[in-house]
Amino acid sequence: MASYDRTLCVGGEWVPALSGETIEVRDPATGEVIGTSSVAGAADVDRAVVAAQEGFRRWNLLTADERCDILLRAAAIIDERTPAMAELLTREQGKPIPDSVKEISFGAQVIRYYAEQGRRVWGSMRPTSRADIRSLVTWEPLGVVAAIVPWNYPVDLYAWKIGPALAAGNSVVVKPPTEAPLAIAEFVQCFLDAGIPEGVLSDLPGAFAAGSRLSEHPDVAAITATASTATGQAIMRSAASTMKRVTLELGGHSPFIVLDDADIAEAATAAARRSFSNAGQICIAVNRILVAESIADEFAEAVIAEARAITLGHGVEAGITGGPVTTAAVIEKSRRHIAEALASGAVLGTGGKNAEVRDGLDAAMFFEPTVLDRVSADALVMHEETFGPLVAVHRFAAGTDVAELANRGDYGLAAYVYGNDLDRAWGVAERIHAGGVGVNINDVSELQAPFGGWKMSGFGRELGPEGLQGMMQQRHIRLRRRHA
């Protein structure tokens, strides 16, 4: 594969960073340099925001139908270019090609959904207390919206942010991750080729300086970010100075509850998929499994078998179902959680070490899917997000309030409940403190429903009509008629 070297997209023009700084992008599976990316600083953010202000005016000269047409063209171009983008995404981020294809395809679906939703924004005439008064309530765009995108699902979450923002009539300045900025560059080019006006979309890979400037910039009306809780807190502090709107999807620590009447094979397969997909680098990954003691032995064996069945390797190769981690820090944290749990009495079911891989791959970036059994409720892994290929199994006794057990901790992004008695499973689900709960399903994301967290997992919602409303504001015009 030829080296892919990208610059910054400032208002629709590809230009180098003002500082001239670049960073190498490496394939985590091999350590090979596959490209470079310009790295934005505060000055690059400033010029992108200036372009975005003018772009906002251009974008709003178009009708909702005209904006819809451009976004639909962009989605169609994304569909055409998905195979090439998927290989690029796998080489920079690590997930297997089928998962990269799924990610990019869903991103295109998100753009199509919001393209149409943008045509369905309407106001209303409200009742008034006087015959000569009329009250009109309308939805209006915010202006310049900033977005911060993480490296675990860079294309997918990019679409989640720019789709509703653009459909609502805003211009957008995005800071994608420097760890995985290449497929995103191709994604952005699809919008440029679709005819999005100059200034409407800017893309600036960068680190702390760029993100900090976006969150504090006086001409940025809102910021939406998927990030760690610590980063979200920093964004809130910085954004407070200008009272900009903030949407944050932050860390998670998802419980997976297996009731004593659950289908063990089905639950084990679902838990393993949600634990180890993308090497566990998912905000809604299963971190801790809470399983009824009466079925725990059989369930643990089933989950261990699922983990061992994952075929690790380079994601571009056929038959590979698990790739490398994206950053070395993921393995470091996994090792720390494993050691602490074992020291407190847990049992290693499988994994716990770097995987053996074929020659030519970087073994330091491959970690065996790991299952810890008989984990204490007080273990670190039961409270702190690992964000890696590790899941802890905790056994609960009959009579335990499992919803209360699941609610322990600071996070509330997602949770899962498996059981054949739907009345009972539903009752548990309704008591869980999380933004999304899956009952007999291991995914809480749905394009037409809101996604977001409670507690330290953030606030605001993406996807669904709520995602579009989060990118708009209401105006009330109260008019007195002079003549009856």
Mind listing the pLDDT tens digit for each residue in 384-408? 999 999 999 999 999 999 999 999 9
Q: Over the stretch 264-322, which tens digit does the pLDDT of each residue have?
A: 999 999 999 999 999 999 999 999 999 999 999 999 999 999 999 999 999 999 999 99
Fill in the amino acid letter for 224: T
Among 92, 186, 283, 368, the active-site one is 283
CB neighbour list of residue 213: distance below 8 Å, 6 or more residues apart = 41, 42, 45, 46
Q: What is the pLDDT of residue 66?
A: 98
Q: What is the helix (H) or strand (E) element at residue 191, kind and residue range?
A: helix 182-193
Domain 254-439 is in which class? Answer: alpha beta
Q: Is the pLDDT of residue 484 over 70?
A: no
322 secondary structure, DSSP code: B
Our answer to whether residue 68 is catalytic in this structure is no
Which pLDDT band, with edges at 50, 70 and 90, does 482 fall under? confident
Given 249, 368, 384, 462, the catalytic residue:
249
Q: Locate 116 and state its tokens.
A: 């149409």
Separation between Cα atoms, residue 184 and residue 57, nearest integer Å:
25
CATH code for the part of the protein at 4-250+457-476: 3.40.605.10
Domain layout of the chain by residue ranges: 4-250+457-476, 254-439
Residue spans of beta strands (DSSP E) within 293-386: 347-350, 370-373
Q: What is the pLDDT of residues 359-371, one digit of tens each?
A: 999 999 999 999 9
pLDDT over 80 at 1, yes or no? no
d(CA 54, CA 56): 5
Q: How confident is the model at residue 436 (pLDDT cuts 50, 70, 90)?
A: very high
Alpha-carbon gap, residue 375 to 379, rounded angstroms: 7
Residue whose C-alpha is closest to residue 155's, from 178, 130, 123, 184: 184
Neighbour tally for 483: CB within 10 Å: 4
- How far is the C-alpha of 221 from the C-alpha of 253, rounded, in Å? 31
Q: What is the pLDDT of residues 55-112, one digit of tens each?
A: 999 999 999 999 999 999 999 999 999 999 999 999 999 999 999 999 999 999 999 9
pLDDT > 70: what percent of the chain?
Answer: 100
pLDDT at 45 over 80: yes
pLDDT of residue 476: 97
> Residue 432 pLDDT > 90, yes or no?
yes
* C-alpha 44 chain-centroid distance: 25
**Cα–Cα distances in angstroms (integers) from residue 33 to residues 4, 15, 24, 30, 329, in the given order:** 9, 21, 6, 9, 19
In tens, the pLDDT along 216-240 reads 999 999 999 999 999 999 999 999 9
